[in-house]
Amino acid sequence: MALGFTEDQRAFRDVVARFLADKSTPTAVRELMVTSTGYDAAVWKQLSGEVGLLGTHLPEAFGGFGFGPVEMGIIAEEMGRYLYCGPFFASAVMAGYAVLGAGSEVDKLRLLPGIADGSTIATLVLDNLNSPDQVGQQLGATSAADGYQLSGVASMVVDAQVANLMIVAANTPQGISLFEVDPQAQGVAVEALEVLDPTRKLCSVGFTQTPAQLLGEVGQANLDPLWGLMSTMLAHEMIGGAQALFASTLDYLKLRVQFGRAIGSFQSLKHRAADLLLELELAKAATHEAARVLATGEGDLYAPNMAKAMASDAYINIAKQAIQLRGGIGFTWEEDTHLWFKRAKSSEVFLGTSNWHRERMMQQIEETADV
Amino acid sequence: MSNAVEGAGSQGPGPSKEQIQTEVGQWLDEHWSVDLSLSAWRTLLVDGGWAAPAWPTEFFGRAFSEEQAAAVSEVFVARGVVGVAQAGPGRLASHTILGHGNSDQKQRYLRSILTGEHAWTQLFSEPGSGSDLAGLTTKAERSGDVWKVNGQKVWNTSAHHADYGLLLARTDWDLPKHQGLSYFLIDMRQPGVEVRPLKQMNGHASFNEVFITDAEILPIDLLGSEGEGWRIAATTLSIERQGFAGDRSGGRARTLVGPIYDEYRDELAIALEPYTWYPQRAGRVDLALPRARQTGAIKDAQVRQELAKLLCMQKGADIAAATAAAAKRSGNNEVVPAGSIGKLAASVIARQASHVHTLASGADAMLAGPASALEGIIAEVLVSVPAISIAGGTDEIQKNIISERVLELPKEPRFDTGPFRDVPRNLADT
């Protein structure tokens, strides 16, 4: 696949961006972030129906549009830019990719069309959000007469408060497996948590002998590729947010006048802006590269780790400077910068810190070297 | 771009690739021989019109397009044929003269650049004007029938081999600084020009200082008009920024057998000598992982982090550059121009590479020379990297350019827009 985006892909980005610019304004974000559901059902309906974004990455056979990680990345990037509030990441990205990777044909036919058309709001229940290696220590499944039973607690689950389908990763004697759970089933306890980033809702989810249906083969859930896909999409979200903050900060530097000059004319601030641009451009390149690697299967296996590490660092650095360069106003609730700052912080630690991703990358480099 | 080389390409379609390759192939059958001397061969090449096929027909070329000229190169490379002299400064000279010289200047100078008979150097930077090149103070004054030049130049690559120099000098002190400069072609082999090697902190002497005392230039060697120096210098600098598309490694000719190749290799060795440390200046990212494995530092969690950061930056920069190049080819302007961040990225990457090499070596980094790590390469990295964020425009100048031209932040107030005579200068110079 060629570098850069095709004309179709750029047109697609424009459509997504226009929709979000209209629906996900800072005012809308502020309204939604204080609600308990955290999303606008009418916008969700348009997102799934008219605009049709939720099944972008899913094959047509399962109700999707048959595109790949590059197009999905475009959506995630624009959602990050406009700070979209809603279960897109939990349902389409996390649960959607989980079912796509682990489910049997029958599972996919049963579950994916609902995710694609938005009638299903799914989430992926992981009992650890730091590393796939630590998943399965809190949630366990035992086989029962007519399927499986789940028990344990996942302490942080994205958008579980609105989910009508849970895809759960739990340990079994045969290893980690994925299960389908109805949130209304017996023994499911969903509790909303107070969060640092109110645009990304989290709940704790407990299971007590909850009936669950196995997806795919028992013990065969391979979380590494799923983690790579999720990390790549999260990296897109982050570079989208970083671009939005960087642009608004540049505007501020041009408008704000102190000591008789626009503060953007001071070399110390110009040079900081240039440094941030460099970091942003490298992170963008690595993130788009990760989507291309996932789409084509060609390139470094650890491209998603590079993307997540670089996007995390770039986003949080830009967010810190976005506040610093605004001075006092940047620290106020009234100014919008903190909305992105908090998303930068929650994204920085979600699905592995940049240190974790760099270590993962080095492990893979070492493994390939030993072969 | 205003230079005539590019302009020449747009003169209609001309012969096809196949026709060109057949014609040049036949011509080579008749003329090329490994037993010729280098100068005899290049004289044939220039007279045959195959030395610089992209140049205008009246000046040794065939007005070929870039693609047509590439078709010729392809045949040369495939057959191991030696091309024209392509040492860096000569290329800057030929392109600048082609773009801005008059017919007489083109006739007098271009041929000997192609044959390699005459070598050139660039005389722009001065001790008192580095980043602020337009603030240079080397003076050219009319004195009877000649221009008399006085001043000092620095960072002059290959000046010790040069027959001629591309000289930027001030001819009017009452105009604003950019407007008072003129561009000259100066004979380096005259009593008023003294070249001294300039030794760098890494021990190499890749450049020179040039002291000019009452050197003389004939009026026919003023390039363009008086006061046009800055505009013409821009052409030279843009050619310099393109890098040397010519094959620095010497390509296949490096290993081929025959008298002409021996002579060619000697010429290349001289031309490339100033650049042997350039890979080390860029940090030798390629050696970071092997070196960390070799010393066992790869087992250290902190080293792994720093190494991973380095590899991430390098990958990001490679992809960003390739994406920008692809976007430029397809006419998509949405991508940030690679040139503006590429140089800054190279500095950051080189510094990080130097950091990783230091961590990987530990106390061994106290040594230098052939007996030290990787036959001295690591030591050379450690003392060469500081140059990359300075040479060809400091990081600070790059950041000014990025912030003003890419990010469109307002310019700083200036204090150098009036007559140059009144512009504050280095205290040491006054």
Give the chain A residue nearest B328 (alpha carbons).
Answer: A4
| Chain A residues within an 8 Å CB radius of B323 | 3-4, 285, 288
- Domains, in order of start, for chain A: 7-117 (1.10.540.10), 122-215 (2.40.110.10), 223-370 (1.20.140.10)
Q: Up-side HSE of residue B22: CA atoms within 13 Å toward CB?
A: 5
| Residues in chain A closer than 8 A to B286 (CB atoms) | none
Is some CB atom of chain A closer than 8 A to the CB atom of B389? no
- The per-residue pLDDT for B14 is 82
B262 lies in which domain range? Answer: 4-86+246-273
Residue numbers of A between 33 and 92 with CB closer than 8 Å to B? none
CATH number reported for the structural domain that contains residue B134 in this entry: 2.40.110.10
Q: What are φ and ψ of residue A128, in 5° steps?
A: -150, 130
Asked if the C-beta of B309 comes within 8 angstroms of chain A's C-beta atoms, the answer is yes
What angle in degrees, to the nearest 10, is found between the helix axes of B38-48 and B17-31?
140
Distance CA B316, CA B66 (A): 30
User: Per DSSP, which regions of B124-257 are E strands?
Assistant: 139-143, 146-154, 164-170, 181-187, 193-198, 207-217, 222-223
Q: Is there a single domain that holds both residue B384 and residue B281?
A: yes
To test the contact with chain A by mutation, choose from B289, B300, B319, B335 the residue with the greatest count of A C-beta atoms within 10 A, namely B319
Query: What digits encode the pLDDT tens for the residues A263-318?
Result: 999 999 999 999 999 999 999 999 999 999 999 999 999 999 999 999 999 999 99
- Is B352 inside a domain boundary? yes
Complex ipTM: 0.95
Same domain, B128 and B76: no
**B409 interaction partners in chain A (CB closer than 8 Å):** 250, 253-254, 262, 264-265, 269-270, 273
CB count within 10 Å of CB A302 equals 26
pLDDT at B10 > cutoff 60: no
Could B326 and A3 be called an inter-chain contact, meaning their C-beta atoms sit closer than 8 Å? yes
C-alpha span between A173 and A168 (Å, rounded): 16
Question: Is B327 within a domain?
Answer: yes
Note whether B385 and B365 are same-domain residues: yes
Give the three-state DSSP class for B198.
strand
Please tell me whether residues B148 and B177 are part of one structural domain.
yes
- The pLDDT value given to residue A45: 94
The answer to whether B240 and B116 are in contact (CB under 8 A) is no
Please count the structural domains in chain B. Answer: 3
A338-357 tens-digit pLDDT: 999 999 999 999 999 999 99
B252 lies in the same domain as B306: no
- Could B316 and A281 be called an inter-chain contact, meaning their C-beta atoms sit closer than 8 Å? yes
- Other C-beta atoms closer than 10 Å to the C-beta of A323 total 20
A247 contacts chain B (CB < 8 A): no
**With an 8 Å Cβ cutoff, is B270 touching chain A?**
no
Residue B79 placed within a domain = yes
A301 touches chain B (CB under 8 A): no
Candidates B301, B312, B413; nearest CB to A286: B312
B193 and B179 within one domain: yes
Cα of first residue to Cα of last residue in chain B, in angstroms, is: 37
Q: State the Cα–Cα distance between residues B7 and B55, nearest whole angstrom.
A: 9
Distance, C-alpha B272 to centroid of its chain: 12
Question: How far are the Cα atoms of A86, B263, B274, B294, B375 from residue B371, in angstroms, in the given order?
Answer: 62, 32, 23, 16, 6
Q: Which residue of A has its CA nearest to B414?
A: A265
- Could you tell me if residue B50 is inside a domain? yes
Say yes or no: B381 and B305 in one domain. yes
Cβ contact B316–A277 (<8 Å): no
- Residue B398 domain-assigned (yes or no): no
Which pLDDT band holds residue B41 (cuts at 50, 70, 90)?
Answer: very high
pLDDT higher than threshold 90 for residue B426: no
CA atoms within 13 A on the CB side of A123: 24
CB A124 within 8 A of CB A161: no
**B142 φ/ψ angles, rounded to the nearest 5 degrees:** -70, 130
Stretch among A148-162, B135-149, B257-271 having the lowest mean pLDDT: B257-271
Residues B173 and B225 in one domain: yes
- What pLDDT does B251 receive? 59
Same domain (yes/no): B359, B388: yes
Q: Give Cβ neighbours of residue B196 (< 8 Å, ≥ 6 apart).
A: B208, B209, B210, B211
Q: Which two tokens stand for residue B382?
A: 């450690």
Looking at the structure, tell me whether residues B233 and B127 fall in a common domain.
Answer: yes
Q: How far is CA B92 from the centre of its chain?
A: 7
Q: Which of B300, B303, B312 to mutate to test the interface with A (most CBs of A within 10 A)?
A: B312
Q: Which residues pair with B141 in a beta bridge?
A: B148
Tens digit of pLDDT at every position of chain A (371 positions): 467 899 999 999 999 999 999 999 999 999 999 999 999 999 999 998 877 899 999 999 999 999 999 999 999 999 999 999 999 999 999 999 999 999 999 999 999 999 999 999 999 999 999 999 999 999 999 998 889 999 999 999 999 999 999 999 999 999 999 999 999 999 999 999 999 999 999 999 999 999 999 999 999 889 999 999 999 999 999 999 999 999 999 999 999 999 999 999 999 999 999 999 999 999 999 999 999 999 999 999 999 999 999 999 999 999 999 999 999 999 999 999 999 999 999 999 999 999 999 999 999 998 877 54
B388 and B346 Cβ atoms separated by less than 8 Å: yes
Residue B399 with chain A: CB contacts under 8 Å: 270-271, 274-275
Instruction: Give the 3-state DSSP-derived string for chain A, with helices as H, strands as E and coil as C.
Output: CCCCCCHHHHHHHHHHHHHHHHHCCHHHHHHHHCCCCCCCHHHHHHHHCCCCCCCCCCCHHHCCCCCCHHHHHHHHHHHHHCCCCCCHHHHHHHHHHHHHHHCCHHHHHHHHHHHHHCCCCEEEECCCCCCHHHCCCCEEEEEECCEEEEEEEEEEEECHHHCCEEEEEEEECCEEEEEEECCCCCCEEEEECCCCCCCCCEEEEEEEEEEEEEECCCCCCCHHHHHHHHHHHHHHHHHHHHHHHHHHHHHHHHHCEECCEEHHHCHHHHHHHHHHHHHHHHHHHHHHHHHHHHHHCCCCCCHHHHHHHHHHHHHHHHHHHHHHHHHHHHHCCCCCHHHHHHHHHHHHHCCCCHHHHHHHHHHHHHHHHHC
Neighbouring CB atoms inside 10 A of A11's CB total: 10
Q: Do A306 and B312 touch (CB under 8 A)?
A: yes
Residue B404 within a domain: no
- B338/B253 same-domain check: no
Question: Are B201 and B147 part of one and the same domain?
Answer: yes
Answer whether residue B168 is part of any domain: yes
Residue B191: which H helix or E strand, with range? none
Q: Do A366 and B320 touch (CB under 8 A)?
A: no
Mean per-residue pLDDT for B351-364?
97
A274, A286, A366: residue with CB nearest B399: A274
